[in-house]
Structure 1
Amino acid sequence: MRNIKQGLAAIAATLTIMGMTQTASAQSAAGAEEYARACASCHGLTGRGDGPLAEYMSIPVPDVTQIRARNNGVFPMLEVIHLIDGRSGLRGHGGPMPIWGDRFEAAVASELGDVGTEIAVRGRVLALATYLEAIQQ
């Protein structure tokens, strides 16, 4: 238990320092980089649903620059986070979209342990969601 508390304290301190030193443009860059790695192959580099794999999908790939427009001018941040993460049971696009929470978790689990892994996964999902909010038309 003591090691977990120490680990949590170290992670909290690191995140606080990162948050204080990371500029808005750096946060945006992190989201854009995550988008390019995880989303652009289907949604396209500009988010319009025209990525190189879109033609192979069983359902149309949505234009993610229109999320706000499809929701009466409001960007549904929590819903977008849940759809990207996928571990809550909500499935993006009715099914074919990968569950990025599981994929991100698998990518970092061996390096960070349980608590660190969950923080890293949530950070990556949040970076994607805030990037999507920033590219709304």
Structure 2
Amino acid sequence: MVKKQVNKVGVIAVGLSLCSGLALAQPSNDLGKIEFVNNCAACHGVDGKGNGVMGNLLRRSPPDLTTLAKNNNGVLPMNRLYEVMEGAGVPSHGVRDMPIWGKEYLVEESQRLREARGAYDAPAVVRARILTLLEYISRIQVR
């Protein structure tokens, strides 16, 4: 009986190690980077340094997002970045080249809600998308 349990444990261990090896071999989805490339890179550049292909069409050059913490005494101003992306405290008319992503995301998620016809928390998804983007911007900061 002990031998059977040892064999089962051995089979389970081998199975788990194979599964973990497969998981490591699969490419991971970097949702923050995907969000950044899809929504920010055109102006801020794929590297976040403000050198995107659309940057020269703007009234002001887009900032280098990789130096935000460095230019703020080593602290990434997450609350302010969230507010800018969500559109809080930003005039609805005026000189704003950057889209208000919170509103853009809400429109997208509202369309998904209509299509899903079920329980779907669009504001929570918008928050998650903005936070995912901010987490990525945090990772690209120069040290």
Q: Identify whether the pair has TM-score above 0.5, normalized to the shorter chain.
A: yes
Give the match for residue 72 of structure 2. 71
1:110: how far off?
Answer: 2.8
1:90 to 2:90 alignment: yes
- Identity, in percent, stands at 32
How far did residue 127 of structure 1 move?
0.6
Structure 2 length as normaliser, TM-score? Answer: 0.70
Question: Structure 1 residues 60 and 84 mapped into 2: Cα distance closer, same or farther (>3 Å)?
Answer: same
CA distances 1:22-81 after superposition (whole Å, capped 9, x unpaired): xxx967x11000000000000000000000000101011100000001101111111111
CA separation in 1, counterparts of 2:134 and 2:110?
Answer: 22
Say which structure is richer in helix.
1
Q: 1:135 is matched with which residue: 116, 135, 140? A: 140
1:1-137 aligned within 5 A: 29-86=30-87, 88-90=88-90, 95-112=96-113, 116-137=121-142
Long gaps (5+) in structure 2: 1-26
Amino acid of the structure 1 residue aligned with 2:69: R
Give aligned pairs, total: 109
1:95-118 Cα distance to aligned partner (Å, 9 max, x none): 211100010011110323796110
Q: Which runs of 4+ in 1 moved over 3 A?
A: none
Structure index of larger Rg:
2
In structure 1, distance between residues paired with 2:120 and 2:89: 21
CA distance in 2, matches of 1:69, 1:90: 24
Q: Which sections of structure 1, spanning at least 5 residues, go unmatched?
A: 1-24
What SS does structure 2 have at the residue aligned with 1:75? coil
Counterpart Cα distance in 2 of 1:26 and 1:121: 22
